[in-house]
Amino acid sequence: MSDPNDICLLGFHAIRARLRAAPQSISRIVYDGQRRDTRLNALLKLAEQAGIKAISESTQTMDRLSKNQRHQGILAMATKRPQPDSLLDLLEQMESLKGQDQWLVVLDGVTDPHNLGAILRSADAAGAAAVIAPRDKSAPLNDVAARVSAGASDHLPYLQVTNLARAIEELQQADYMVIGLAGEAEQSLYATDLTGKIALVLGAEGEGMRRLTRERCDQLVRLPMQGSVESLNVSVACGVCCYEALRQRQNKK
């Protein structure tokens, strides 16, 4: 797609989420003409009710439009959802949610869009307010990340900042406790207070956080590892951290 503001939404979850959140942003839906089942018919009915044109195409055309990514027989052409312009804008949006201690996820060098999509899905499901990452050497919010996020990318802000170390300092100035996940840390995640205003920092696949990011954290914690493997995939580790934060917050109520 030539327009940088456009995105190809792949699969049922991503399209259904966008239909609910911003149907006016979808220009058209394309579906595999060889597939006409109850699930597809239900989604096409929602599109019709929203006044969105649906076009039947061959499987080969679907594969070409999706760049051979998994599409489940349906995709949508849409504009990208607007993201916050700056960390300050994001924090102001979060502060508008009165009476809630917001928390967020910070990624340092996660480059795989599949991992980004899975992280957005877990973070959104567990109640995080946003995901922050550096603009350089990190995964973009592209078609693949949007599909894997299963609709979370349409609800959870994903802000890419110019300087991650400076962004962490800004979070600390806004009274956020910045907690980094590191395998060599002495304290366990489960012995750490994850309530209040916190930012959970996770490093790149295989390499972990960069030295400067690690030094900026207020606290380093680890995930207990009982088996033979030394670490978890970053999206799995994020899911564990996010749901421990959710568990603690629910127990605190």
> Whole-angstrom Cα distance, residue 152 to residue 13?
9
Give the CATH number, domain containing residue 211.
3.40.1280.10
* Residue 234 lies inside a defined structural domain of this protein: yes
Does 193 lie in the same domain as 129? yes
Number of domains in the chain: 2
Last residue of a domain, one of 79, 98, 130: 79
Check residue 96 and give its pLDDT.
65
CB within 8 Å of 161: residues ≥ 6 apart: 87, 132, 133, 134, 135, 167
Please report whether residue 1 resides in a domain.
Answer: no
Shared-domain flag, residues 235 and 124: yes
What does the pLDDT read at residue 219? 96
The answer on pLDDT for 170 being more than 50 is yes
Judged against a pLDDT cut of 80, whether residue 81 lies above it is answered with no
Last residue of a domain, one of 79, 104, 137: 79
Q: Among 166, 171, 229, 237, which residue's Cα sits nearest to residue 208?
A: 237
Dist CA 40 CA 30 (whole Å): 11
Please indicate, yes or no, whether residues 111 and 59 belong to a single structural domain of this protein.
no
Q: Are 217 and 104 found together in one domain?
A: yes
Calculate the alpha carbon distances from 117 to 38, 56, 89, 149 in Å.
27, 27, 23, 4
The verdict on residue 140 lying in a domain is yes
Q: Are residues 137 and 103 both part of a single domain?
A: yes
pLDDT, position 17? 84
Report the amino acid identity of residue 236: V
How far is 97 from 190, CA to CA, in rounded Å? 27
Indicate the residue among 79, 110, 134 that finishes a domain: 79
- What average pLDDT does range 176-194 have in this prediction? 95
Task: Provide the whole-model pTM.
Answer: 0.79
Residues 40 and 145 in one domain: no
pLDDT for residue 4: 59
Place of tokens 């088996």: 227
Residues of the domain holding 126: 87-252
